[in-house]
Amino acid sequence: MNNLKPIVDQERPKVYIETYGCQMNVNDSEVILSILQKNGYALTEDMDRADVILANTCSIRDNAEQRIWGRIEQFRLQKKRNPQVVIGIVGCMAERLKDKLLEKVDLVAGPDAYRSLPALLRDIRPDSPQINVLLSREETYADISPVRLDRNGVSAYISIMRGCNNVCSYCVVPYTRGAERSRDPHSIVREARELFENGYKEVNLLGQNVDSYLWKECREGAAEGVSVGDVKECEVVNFARLLEMVAAISPELRVRFSTSHPKDISDEVISTIAAHEHTCRHIHLPVQSGSSRILEKMRRKYDREWYLERVAKIREVMPDCGLSTDVIAGFCSETEQDHQDTLSLFEQVCFDSAFMFQYSVRPGTLASRHYPDDVPPEVKTARLNEIIALQTKMSLKSNQKDMGKTFKVLIEGPSKRNPDDLCGRAGNNKMCVFPSMAAERATQGLAPLGAGDYVNVKVVDCTSATLICKIV
């Protein structure tokens, strides 16, 4: 079995990595560390001991970028104390701001340039910073086994595709991560199997839009127009088929995924989730707005009715499926009625949870070029607060419906609030907290429960964020 954990070696040059943004960025940091470890580096969690400081960055919102600028100044103070230290910015912000960053740091590398990091680091001189922000139509890092940065060895991310073709009017991702390309499914299955053989019990398949995953390989000489079913000539794997392939590894390996796009999530995918008990019944389905008018301006390629129909289909096939979402408050030209449409959709769907944000202009996007940012900041804030307050109520309502139910939970470790309690997620992605029963198990001659164990729990109480349970 491969060693998936970071190398600790006092003799190697040390790299310190800070990760900002989404799960994709976490996985990218793991890819970066794998590449650097193979080229002689070791990880350190102490910035003061680092030879290389890297910030893996996010550009999805302005406040994310402002945080990075603040950290860069702190990194530069570190460089004053140790002039030999190398400061690098990688990821989406590196791709977007390029030369502007190069005025402040020694290295700039975009999301498709991580293989070049060892060479870039070798070529850095006091008067010669290094940059590679070339985007690729082929790069998926399929051959790289990421070095896992999780703490508990239970759950791991697997990138199944990179880039995005949707070009929503507010979103910078297509410009920072390039065009959509799907990864070889067999490399995905190999990575998932390797994780399971190394003790991991859950994989989370990642993509900007997992439902558009599509991989096709035709044998040399295959005829044009070969049907999907003609596997003798062409192998075609869509997202539903990929889910089946990963699920086939073991019933002890949970399968999650993120993120789905409402325009693409198919009946086939919904049925595939339902057919496999260990494919978790949770779908993150970003709505962004409850107003069809605003959705059209956002270029989301669905309307309110389409979204609600997809929700209805999910709940028809899987009544117990957890649903979460993203929403943007105060998008360009949003009226009070548009806002009320969002609130009414939240009430109608009753999401289990949501990620909620104010709109911020991202330079280079269609919205920045064509739509005035005309909703006053105080109105954005007020509307966001209304959405948050409503979602808190909806989350509590959703959790109250689970009172008395029993769930199979994958333990992630001790609870942060009480070390005598354990915590883990149910299949619907809700966090469960419950007493470890360590003393009782000891008197029965049973080993203590810990990270990676499955346990059945019954819900006895709840908050808006947590199911409070007991082991049954």
Please tell me the pTM assigned to this model.
Answer: 0.93
**Could you give the CA distance from residue 135 to residue 112 in angstroms, rounded to a whole number?**
6
Cα–chain-centroid distance for residue 397?
A: 26
CB 375 within 8 A of CB 423: no
Say what the pLDDT of residue 352 is.
98
Residue 431: count of CB within 10 angstroms of its CB: 17
99 in Cβ contact with 79 (< 8 Å): no
Token pair for residue 227? 């049907």
Q: What is the distance of C-alpha 395 from the center of its chain?
A: 21
User: Which residues are paired to 215 by β-bridges?
Assistant: 237
pLDDT tens across the length of the chain (472 residues): 456 889 888 899 999 999 999 999 999 999 999 999 999 999 999 999 999 999 999 998 888 899 999 999 999 999 999 999 999 999 999 999 998 999 999 999 999 999 999 999 999 998 899 999 999 999 999 999 999 999 889 999 999 999 999 999 999 999 999 999 999 999 999 999 999 999 999 999 999 999 999 999 886 655 545 554 544 478 999 999 999 999 999 999 999 999 999 999 999 999 999 999 999 999 999 999 999 999 999 999 999 999 999 999 999 999 999 999 999 999 999 999 999 999 999 999 999 999 999 999 999 999 999 999 999 999 999 999 999 999 999 999 999 999 999 999 999 999 999 999 999 999 999 999 999 999 999 999 999 999 999 999 999 999 999 999 999 9
pLDDT value of residue 9:
83
**pLDDT value at residue 61:** 87
Residue 165 is encoded by which pair of tokens? 């073709």
Give the span between the Cα atoms of 130 and 1, in whole angstroms: 36
What pLDDT is attached to residue 1? 43
Q: Tell me, what's the pLDDT at 173?
A: 94
Locate tokens 């073991």: which residue? 250
Which tokens sit at 1? 């079995």
- What pLDDT was estimated at residue 287? 98
Torsion of CA 464, 309, 215, 191, to 10 degrees: 20
- Structural domains of the chain, with CATH: 14-132 (3.40.50.12160), 150-218+231-280 (3.30.750.210), 317-401 (3.30.750.200), 406-471 (2.40.50.140)
CB 54 within 8 A of CB 25: no
Q: Which two tokens stand for residue 75?
A: 């990194």
- Is the previous residue joined to 259 through a cis bond, with omega within 30 degrees of 0? yes
Considering only the C-alpha atoms of the chain, give the largest distance between any 2 of them, rounded to a whole number of Å.
69
pLDDT of residue 231: 44
Which of 47, 70, 66, 50 has the alpha carbon at shortest distance from 58? 66
- Give me the amino acid identity at 324: S
The structure tokens 């080993």 sit at 447
What's the pLDDT score for residue 234?
A: 85
pLDDT for the residue numbered 152: 87
What is the distance, to the nearest Å, from the Cα of residue 215 to the centroid of all Cα atoms in its chain?
21
Gap between the Cα atoms of 218 and 226, Å rounded:
9
